[in-house]
Structure 1
């Protein structure tokens, strides 16, 4: 009987599917994220590992699991896994792309709306002190219709954000290393802009890009100074794309108007200074935290284990 180790609790649909398929399934049930040492101790005789993107799978973990056939990452990203070393050891690594697209794009749009209409700030005010009553100039925000949205990274999520933003009357421009063709741009109702142009002309900037060596701290103090002073930045991509120290300075100096972060440079830690600002929204990496998305992700990781056990090719291999 092949052994599967889950380094975090998953939706029951995954564990039940594996048990029904005859696997011996062990689940880490700690209340905190699994530690490196705990993971190291639990991979020694396993055949399959399911792990969330918050768990680092490095040389030591891989070397400690001589029977390991597959690392099924529960998430679209896979920066947490040494994929090259896994390939060297003959271990397949998979992820769960596409199924979280709608959930993440909904969160991105929600954060734009929450920032522009000061929804979170208003909620805190009502809970803390209430308000004096409706007045014509009280607690004004801005409508997003007619505003320019700049999307950095136009993959599946970026495109879905663009579709939703277009439906809300926004003008959408994007930046990616390989621009779309003219027919694709017309179909998606988006316009390509260089990164510098996007930064300087957008009213809202949404980061939906994966993390690469090239985009580490892509949004630094120079970028924030180039943004409109009335603009806001939203990050549903990867935390290290933003230099949070520079972001805090830019916000304190009124270089930009606001920020909403769902991912963080040193996740799960958050810059304490950002917590103090009323024009900042902080959410706990909930981009794809919907029942629908997580169930779909659970099905993918379970199905991939079953496929590899049957000596068939897994889906969504990231280290071919």
Structure 2
């Protein structure tokens, strides 16, 4: 087996045993792609591979067609919107992801972003490093209303954390897990109600063809002027121009963004005073990377042995 790895650059250092274990299964080629990779170079790199293990690089029809020996694509994470799954299956290529394995990491990061935005922590840290001692007023998250968009493994992990802050939690989701909602004291509402009522909104849903720019000038206009938007899912769920306008004109209090429509982003959003921004690190913990690495190696072994794959996308 010829295996091509295209992970986030720090993932290799965070989980060195992954490459060692994969080398026991076949020939391994490692690409560092955080600075991007040109389509023609990518097509050249995949031409003789059997397996692609990928994080964020786009595996579209052109790339799949350039890989005549490709049998299997593994997404190193949960969201697989960067993979043309339908076309892969037309070509007889299997696709799996790793749902829920980075949920705890993403939920931790979302709460870190929420606290950072509410208390202007990054701004205060920057001032202190410049030897500036200035008081500023922030907002508590205790007893506030949390709105979660999406109620899968990450949404449920968020709701569980919210109980520790005595937050009232509402959620908007297409797939409603009523049993989990009852256990976590979560009330399902429609999207308009969530945008109107929540003090903090965390986006934790997958990107589909139907929900692109779910957050736009219409939904932003429903939000309270004291509310905060946090996005840890996919950048394309937010219309960045509309959000920039809303923040610039104080329509909402602030935003905390881990994801952007184009990455690395060229957006002006991170430059705004009322924005906390991080470079898509929600799932980037040593623990989650290890869990995903383990399931990836296990699934490749299953493919080789003709066994049933875990988390097959379809």
TM-score strictly above 0.5: yes
Mapped to 2, the partners of 1:43 and 1:276 lie a distance apart of 37
CA contact (8 A) 1:15 1:302 kept: no
CA contact (8 A) 1:148 1:172 kept: yes
Instruction: Output one character per residue of 1:179-204: Cα deviation in whole Å (capped at 9) or x when no partner.
Output: 333x4422111111110000000000
CA contact (8 A) 2:33 2:57 kept: no
Mapped to 2, the partners of 1:4 and 1:299 lie a distance apart of 16
Residues 1:32 and 2:27 aligned together? no
Q: Which residue of 2 aligns with 1:221?
A: 217
Q: Which of residues 127, 146, 149 is equivalent to 2:146?
A: 149
CA contact (8 A) 1:4 1:26 kept: yes
CA contact (8 A) 2:6 2:33 kept: no
CA contact (8 A) 1:105 1:161 kept: yes
* Helix, strand or coil at the partner of 1:13: helix
Residues 1:165 and 2:168 aligned together? no
Deviation at 1:210, TM superposition (A): 0.4
Over 3 Å counting, the alpha-carbon distance change for 1:109 and 1:29 in structure 2 is closer
CA contact (8 A) 1:28 1:34 kept: no
Q: Which residue of 2 aligns with 1:69?
A: 71
Deviation at 1:30, TM superposition (A): 6.1
Over 3 Å counting, the alpha-carbon distance change for 1:94 and 1:118 in structure 2 is same
Q: Which of residues 96, 99, 110 is equivalent to 1:97?
A: 99
Q: Which of residues 255, 264, 267 is equivalent to 2:251?
A: 255
Residues 1:196 and 2:199 aligned together? no
Instruction: Output one character per residue of 1:66-125: Cα deviation in whole Å (capped at 9) or x when no partner.
Output: 211101111211111111111011100111111101000000011111111111111122
- The normalised TM-score by structure 1 is 0.93
Q: Which residue of 2 aligns with 1:18?
A: 22
Deviation at 1:41, TM superposition (A): 0.8
CA contact (8 A) 1:239 1:263 kept: yes
- Runs of 4+ deviating beyond 4 Å: none
Q: Which residue of 1 aligns with 2:304?
A: 309
Mapped to 1, the partners of 2:189 and 2:164 lie a distance apart of 20
CA contact (8 A) 2:156 2:180 kept: no
Q: Which residue of 2 aligns with 1:175?
A: 172
* Helix, strand or coil at the partner of 1:28: strand
After superposing the two structures, state which structure 1 stretch, 28-37 or 141-150, moved more. Answer: 28-37
Gaps of 5+ in 2: none
Over 3 Å counting, the alpha-carbon distance change for 1:179 and 1:31 in structure 2 is closer
Gaps of 5+ in 1: 133-137
- The normalised TM-score by structure 2 is 0.94
Q: Which residue of 2 aligns with 1:5?
A: 4
Q: CA RMSD in A?
A: 1.5
After superposing the two structures, state which structure 1 stretch, 28-37 or 194-203, moved more. Answer: 28-37
